[in-house]
Structure 1
């Protein structure tokens, strides 16, 4: 079993079956696009996002020194539409991703367990993060082939 196959197996054991790998390199185009958004005021109200933060967040080796790869994962959040309450009252709809447990916590717990296994089995550094962390994960996900960045900046 290759290291990639083993890591995929560890992730699959956590219910994460969509994985891709990107090289841990700086992404200058992502930094330029994000800096342009910052300078244009599109990120107003997100005071933690500074030019220095963007420079670090678009270089995975700043996130984990010596990193060679960024493992990107996706977790399905599909849930069936809930049955109407039957009382005749019309109610608003709740987005599917918001119906279950907080995906940040679900992902973070699973990724911490996998990172621990990676450190133990491969004697390698591993630092998990979710989309609120200090890495522009969407840009790395696009680089890895998980999708593409739309005009909305969503993957």
Structure 2
């Protein structure tokens, strides 16, 4: 059965497929509770809810016997580190340049699940960042990859650029061996972080992470961190991009993950001019849409302040009295920075 499931998963477009038994995840309760106790999750209050589900997939769905964990490449066509030099343009994280991966991956998972039911019976539930599932520890337990020193998943086959999805099933499927750590003495991901978001190897303080600050954090970003954000306006790829294991990475096969004119280093003045309707129209079908116009334009204004482009000072001045106080605050900061 396992071989047939793996073969079908690859036919559906997934790049990696491994299996793990549904059950407690070693080390997750201690690590997760310590992370939460230190407040390193910031405003992500949802992480505190249903902690028991994250610690043990069998609590999430007691009938589940196996979990099929899948990886799907979104390997970028561009070099995120080189794009940092385009200071008057907005840099959007590679995963968010195309269509929303939640929709694409979930449809693949459902197709695989329906095929499994038709072939072998049982019941299934599918998840892709849509439930309290500890996806990265689960993927490591299944042998998909290991959590590197930057806490993200790394694969010997694909590097760092891939999404994770899972199919929980009541079927008993032979599991794969767990993956072990292959980071060795390398610490490139830790040293490259502009905001020093890693207190120690394998630890992340989300409150200092640019991905968190530009996506999850709703209010003004602490002033001490704004200047370190550069032109990153949605997410950050630095710790992924420098990983040596990316020599095995492959470009996304699904063209929907590649960006277009809306997301490929767009001009900052163009983005700053977006009102709510314009923002929603421009990013329809994109994961960027979920953060809303206010948070997005706030990020754009921080990038304008970091651009060093005097011509953008007038753009920021035009937003100093914006109806959104967070946007107005960011605009005033950008004006002062460029002045």
TM range (shorter): 0.7 to 0.9
The TM-score, its normalising length taken from structure 2, stands at 0.40
Cα distance in 1, alignment partners of residues 131 and 12 from structure 2: 20
The 1:81/1:150 distance shift into structure 2, 3 A limit, reads: closer
Cα distance in 2, alignment partners of residues 66 and 120 from structure 1: 19
Does residue 61 of the first structure (1) align with residue 58 of the second (2)?
Answer: yes
Larger Rg: 2
For structure 2, which runs of at least 5 residues remain unmatched after alignment? 80-86, 154-339
Greater length-normalized contact order (CA 8 Å, ≥ 6 residues apart): 1
RMSD: 2.1
CA contact (8 A) 2:22 2:66 kept: yes
Moved over 6 A (4+): none
Query: How far apart are residue 90 of structure 1 and its match?
Result: 5.4
**Residue in 1 that maps onto 2:231:** none
**Residue in 2 that maps onto 1:47:** 45
Cα distance in 1, alignment partners of residues 115 and 101 from structure 2: 21
Cα distance in 1, alignment partners of residues 114 and 150 from structure 2: 34
2:74 to 73, 77, 80: 77
- Give the count of matched residue pairs: 146
**Residue in 2 that maps onto 1:18:** 16
Cα distance in 1, alignment partners of residues 47 and 15 from structure 2: 31
SS for the counterpart of 1:19 is strand
Cα distance in 2, alignment partners of residues 110 and 124 from structure 1: 18
Query: How far apart are residue 40 of structure 1 and its match?
Result: 0.7
Query: How far apart are residue 28 of structure 1 and its match?
Result: 4.4
**Residue in 2 that maps onto 1:4:** 2
SS for the counterpart of 1:75 is strand
**Residue in 2 that maps onto 1:117:** 115
CA contact (8 A) 1:23 1:70 kept: yes
Cα distance in 1, alignment partners of residues 60 and 111 from structure 2: 19
Cα distance in 2, alignment partners of residues 40 and 107 from structure 1: 33
